[in-house]
Structure 1
């Protein structure tokens, strides 16, 4: 029999017969109730709150929305709709609706002439309509309201410009620094803190950090560990390294085994010794093999020339050098003494440095 413990009915583990609520459970339940009460209160306040005074045109399609406020776009759409309605021919509307026409053949002959005259009037009055659209962009508004509307538009434009300038300045300030030691150390500390939080939430210690890795991450780590390190120092010229380089070069070479076997059968001294009279002589190689060898040499030379450990160039970084050599020297100085002179440099840039 399981001993009956104290379990709060609102606890998420209330269905567990072996669970017994502690202070942590009660605190979480209280926080959840407080959040629910705050959300309910905000919802009630939002529903009870009356909308502020706003500018809404009665012909706007969103006039029924009590939170909508007409902008210049709304007024332009209303003016265009009214203009289209004025230009519409009543006879065309009657024909489209399928109603019987009340005029005879003589009237039908006069219709094209009337339409031509109306078209000429419309062509002549296009400029007048454009001018009227500009004037009727803000209908049913007093001069004071129009001025207020224009000021609001200017304020919105200024706000957007300030936000864009702020984002650009933030990007410039937060540009990656060239001091690898400081940035790498900061990245490692942030990563260690993040992993520590995940381990604490799962009840694990730092020695079990590998349990957070996925299958893909683990395979990538194992593959990286199995990779042999690059030769260093005198190991570059030993026999094993040279043999590995030879295998790497011959990996992409296609070998015709049939031609090789035929040549070996045709020549009894295919593998010549020092006592052979044909020592030093070689059969004529096909032109295709020679071309393939030359191509491999050219590719190797091109690959050697293209190899370069170029560093990434940051355009947003402040320029503090006069040439490439001086830039390289400044990077070395920054790596060696950057963390000691960081505060002095920031004070000089902010203008808060104090004299000795």
Structure 2
């Protein structure tokens, strides 16, 4: 309090240089202080009650999670539920605080729902089973481009991102000779390579070979030999090995499968896959010569009048 002027610092007229506090001012100041202390006490009590209620609700929810194997959505709903409180027993600021919490929970639920629906709208629709090769290549190119940009490289240096295993697999593919196609399937080189592949796993008995060559003076016959068509006796185990090798080849041929693109618009002129393959060969060889006959048969103009 100022000695020169009787002015209390909490008085609403303290800024007036001509004002002096009287008994009325001191009475009002005391009433305001008492009212503020009462409000602070009620607010602290309401906050304590709310914290206790939330702690009890959290404990009950933890017990429910242990006892029941509920889904994540059900757990979120239980977390957002307001604990049961007798509203009729709340008065004044406690009741108002409880109502505000209810509104906050309701707003939070609606916000979560709106955010989820908006996210679904923004996301691209999921494709059906599988993804096209073109889209996969575009996505992979974009991903590699970002990594290259981060390292200050361009697309010509994409090989620098390959691991040792990936590089070795690429080198193996490059060193591998291409599969023969067309008429190259039946040339002498391809047939000789197939023969070497078949005989790679066959073990030669040199002792038996030398013994057979010593026993037969014409083991290597010339064109003038009179033993044309005569062959040395072959043991049964070698015949069994040959039969087993032929059987294994047939099994491997049956197990081989390669997916081919199916075209619905194409005319069906075969009864099975093997017949379709045979028809393709015939078409390549004689298609241009039989085209007019085929068209006449389809139009019906080849029939006699």
Shorter-chain TM band: 0.3 to 0.5
The structure with the largest alpha-carbon Rg is 2
**Larger RCO: Structure 1 or Structure 2 (Cα < 8 Å, ≥ 6 residues apart)?**
1
Q: TM-score, normalised by structure 2?
A: 0.47
